[in-house]
Chains A and B, each alone.
Chain A
């Protein structure tokens, strides 16, 4: 069983640029959530995708956008990068959209540095 994989693992961008982060969900999982983890903080919910539709969004501006593909993999796009966007971006897949299973399976994250 392949776990959640994210790419790239590290990247450096400058202010104003755009970035795309990618996530392959665990086999059999139809739900993908994205979280931002700033240094010394807990993960903050960005949004969730369920069957290719956005299914909930946290307190992040519209320049954070995403996609989910038919194979349930997902992308997180961030436009007009700001210094505060520097963080570890975590992708988590789950077999359903609900909390009952509690089974968020996390990837190892993509560490973004904005200069």
Chain B
């Protein structure tokens, strides 16, 4: 069975500080991993994805994530937080190219303090 755990339902950082949102996955087969962002009253938007190519993945808005198989992790980082980064972030896993089901974590709400 596949699952995703996001540690920390709420994370607060100061503007300009490092953003680190944690995601650990459980999968019996090589996973495809994703980070989505949800702004208030909007749908989810893809930030970045890992699909068995480079382990360090760069996404939109300066975010990146590193796939670490030994740690079963896919943490999301951004060197310098911006006020516009305040949103809900979801990590998701799917387990094959034909996998039609995405398993989402419970989300992390990011607050950026001016």
Q: Which residues of A contact B106 (CB under 8 A)?
A: 40-42
Q: Which residues of A contact B45 (CB under 8 A)?
A: 106
A48 at the interface (CB under 8 A from B): yes
- B43, closest chain A residue (CB): A106
Cβ contact within 8 Å between B44 and A43? yes
Cβ contact within 8 Å between A104 and B97? no
A-contact 0/1 string along B73-114, CB 8 Å cutoff: 000000000000000001010111111111111110000000
A33 to B32, CA, bound (A): 17
Cβ contact within 8 Å between B43 and A109? yes
A24 at the interface (CB under 8 A from B): no
Shortest B51–chain A CB gap in Å is: 6
A96 to B17, CA, bound (A): 38
- B96, closest chain A residue (CB): A99
Q: Which residues of A contact B105 (CB under 8 A)?
A: 42
A55 to B46, CA, bound (A): 22
- B100, closest chain A residue (CB): A56
Cβ contact within 8 Å between A100 and B43? no
Interface residues on B, range: 20 to 34
Interface residues on A, range: 20 to 34
A108 at the interface (CB under 8 A from B): yes
| Residues A97-113 near B (CB distance < 8 A) | 97-100, 102-109
Cβ contact within 8 Å between A48 and B100? yes
Shortest A99–chain B CB gap in Å is: 4
A60 to B97, CA, bound (A): 23
Cβ contact within 8 Å between A104 and B32? no
**Given A42-B104, A42-B107; A99-B32 close (CB under 8 Å):** yes
| Residues A57-105 near B (CB distance < 8 A) | 58, 90, 92, 97-100, 102-105
Given contacts A43-B102, A97-B100, A108-B43, 19 further A-B contacts (CB under 8 A): A33-B102, A40-B107, A41-B107, A42-B107, A90-B44, A98-B97, A99-B95, A99-B99, A99-B100, A99-B102, A100-B32, A102-B32, A102-B51, A104-B44, A104-B46, A104-B102, A106-B43, A106-B44, A107-B43
